[in-house]
């Protein structure tokens, strides 16, 4: 039996520019309360970002290749190529979500306006990726967070 991923905690961080920043944490196998608004939008972004294309039988074309890219070892010579693939994947994720939401009736704070890529960086010392994005809703509410912990399983 597989376990559900439940995003359950948002910790407010200092604001940077026009975007609110939050630390997003999740646990496996625990159900959380239903979320609404920008938190529901962030949850949708994270869920699809962690979905590998072809693994959802009901929507086989959704998801990103980012989890697979980050798990592989990275040579110095391939860092820029992987970084470009991560960037393209996030841009494609934005299109996927907008396409999925086009036929749905949603409040503006749950409808995606854009995903901004704030930082994609490989740390040689720790061999980790830092991938920071901002999710902006049609209501003009933005949340910035680092997706790296989701990719490491922490």
pTM for this model (two decimals): 0.76
Average pLDDT over residues 31-55: 84
91-113 pLDDT tens trace: 999 999 999 999 999 999 999 99
Residue 129 phi/psi, 5° resolution?
-100, 140
Asked whether residue 86 carries a pLDDT value surpassing 70, the answer given is yes
* pLDDT confidence tier of residue 33, bands split at 50, 70 and 90: low
Within 13 Å, how many C-alpha atoms sit on residue 13's CB side?
15
- Burial (CB < 10 A; 0-12, 13-18, 19+), residue 98, is middle
Q: Where do the domains of the chain lie, and which CATH numbers do they carry?
A: 5-152 (3.10.450)
Contact 47, 5 (CB under 8 A): yes
């Amino acid at each position: 039996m597989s376990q559900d991923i439940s995003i359950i905690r948002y910790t407010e961080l200092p604001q940077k520019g026009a975007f609110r920043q939050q630390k997003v944490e999740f646990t496996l196998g625990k159900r959380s309360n239903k979320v609404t608004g920008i938190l529901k939008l962030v949850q949708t972004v994270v869920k699809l970002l962690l979905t590998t294309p072809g693994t959802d039988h009901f929507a086989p074309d959704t998801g990103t290749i980012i989890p697979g890219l980050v798990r592989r070892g990275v040579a110095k010579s391939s860092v820029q190529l992987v970084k470009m693939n991560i960037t393209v994947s996030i841009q494609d994720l934005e299109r996927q979500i907008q396409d999925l939401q086009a036929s749905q009736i949603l409040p503006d704070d749950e409808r995606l306006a854009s995903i901004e890529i704030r930082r994609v960086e490989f740390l040689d010392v720790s061999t980790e990726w830092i991938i920071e994005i901002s999710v902006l809703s049609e209501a003009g509410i933005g949340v910035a967070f680092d997706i790296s912990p989701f990719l490491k399983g922490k």
